[in-house]
Amino acid sequence: MRGLTAPPFLRTLSAKLSQSKSGAYLQNVGGRLYNPKDVRDRYDNYGDKEWDRLEKSLHGVVEYEVTLHILQKHLPENAYILDAGGGPGRYAIRLAGMGHRVYLLDISEEQLRLAEKKIDEAGVRDKITAVRPMDICEMGEIPDANFDAVLCLGGALSYVRERRFKAIAELIRVAKPGSPLAVSVMSLLGTFHLIATLDARNFLENIRDHVEWDPETPFPEVLNSKRGSPEWHAPMTLYTSRYLKRFLEDHGCRVVEMASTNAITSGERKLEKIASSPEAVEMLVDLEKQFSNRPGVVDMGQHLLAVAITPEET
């Protein structure tokens, strides 16, 4: 069955982007930055680690619990949800267990192979409508206005770099008008907040080798990592909360909540003393949830998380 006709605002979105505040940044970026094969290969090789990372460290547990906490405030009941860039299906499976129907897609076929296994183990196969290999920038096989809610969690929107404009347009296109859209990205200020924690002398002394920024200019609201830098697990774009909010608004969305994960637990320490105490872990997770959307804390987290309402059809 063919999808609904795209709303008029989507037909003129490309033209508007060239005049938008967030779109203007694209004019300053030279060359091709996003390489889908690089991202696909990384996550094909990463294997089970992507599933494990949200349960085997306190940082991962906090990220997972805070993200679910935010999502549950905004998702409609018994919704049909797109989990775009959902990897091995950790969120898709949890949401399916809550009664939602979920369409899972990811660029990595290895991650999706793992997802298929985990879906069967969880007994939620009847709630998963599809498990498809797909780039979030190229979702043409999905009809317009198809989902009650759209999620793009983790770092997918950061990994597509200069193609974030195409990716967000696609995420909006497949969502029903006036439905929740939840996206997360790598936090720019939260990442730089780790400089002292990591005692990152080399990073500071050779900063031009690691990020695409001239220190003689003001620090930006959005920043690309430098390809080939060992400081990053993959080439990415890092955002401030102000830029992410404006980016969504420039695409016609109404932002209803800005939050972040790991505002307290940023960094790479294992936190062994806290992890050894169930009472301490419970209190930490509760504090992370309460801190997650406080304006003075949002940019200190590791992932920024924005929930917006997609444009109403006009």
Encoded tokens for 33: 């930055």
The two most distant CA atoms of the chain are separated, in Å, by 58
pLDDT at 31: 43
| Residue 8 binned pLDDT confidence (cut-offs 50, 70, 90) | very low
For tokens 């779109």, the residue is 23
The arithmetic mean of pLDDT across residues 222-244, rounded, is: 93
In a domain, 277, yes or no: yes
76 belongs to a structural domain:
yes
Q: For residue 18, what pLDDT band results from cuts at 50, 70 and 90? A: very low
Q: How many domains does the chain have?
A: 1
Distances (CA, A) of 145 to 9, 52, 104, 174, 260: 13, 33, 16, 5, 28
Q: Which CATH number is 276's domain given?
A: 3.40.50.150
Q: Report whether pLDDT(265) > 80.
A: yes
Please state the pTM of the whole predicted model. Answer: 0.89
Residue 108, C-beta contacts closer than 8 angstroms, at least 6 positions apart: 39, 40, 43, 44, 46, 87, 133
Token code pair at residue 121:
């183990």
Q: Which residues pair with 80 in a beta bridge?
A: 101
Examine residue 224 and state whether it is found in any structural domain, yes or no.
no
pLDDT confidence of residue 266: 83
- Give the E-state strand segments of the chain in sequence order: 80-84, 101-106, 128-133, 149-152, 180-187, 222-224, 237-239, 254-261, 303-309
Q: In this model, does residue 28 exceed pLDDT 80?
A: no
Task: State the pairing for strand pair 149-152/80-84.
Answer: parallel
* CA gap 108, 36 in Å, rounded: 10
> Where residue 90 falls among pLDDT bands split at 50, 70, 90?
very high
In-domain check, residue 221: no
Q: Residue written as tokens 């992932």?
A: 303
Six-digit token pair at 278? Answer: 């169930």
Closest listed residue to residue 153, CA positions, set 302, 9, 310: 302
Q: How confident is the model at residue 134 (pLDDT cuts 50, 70, 90)?
A: very high
Q: Of 1-15, 141-155, 162-176, 187-201, give the lowest mean pLDDT range.
A: 1-15
Helical pair 109-122 and 36-46, crossing angle rounded to 10 deg: 40
Answer whether residue 203 is part of any domain. Answer: no
So what's the pLDDT on residue 16?
42
pLDDT score, position 267: 75
Q: Which of 75, 85, 35 is nearest to 309 (CA)?
A: 75
Q: What does the pLDDT read at residue 32?
A: 55
Domain assignment of residue 207, yes or no: no
For residue 248, is it within any domain?
Answer: yes
Which residue is it, tokens 């105490």?
277
Q: Which of 87-91, 138-142, 227-231, 242-246 is least confident?
A: 227-231
Domain membership of residue 157 as a residue range:
8-187+237-309
Average of per-residue pLDDT values in the chain: 89
Q: How confident is the model at residue 228 (pLDDT cuts 50, 70, 90)?
A: confident
Residue at 194 is within a domain: no
Task: Please tell me the distance from the alpha carbon of residue 1 to that of residue 242, in angstroms, as a whole number.
Answer: 39
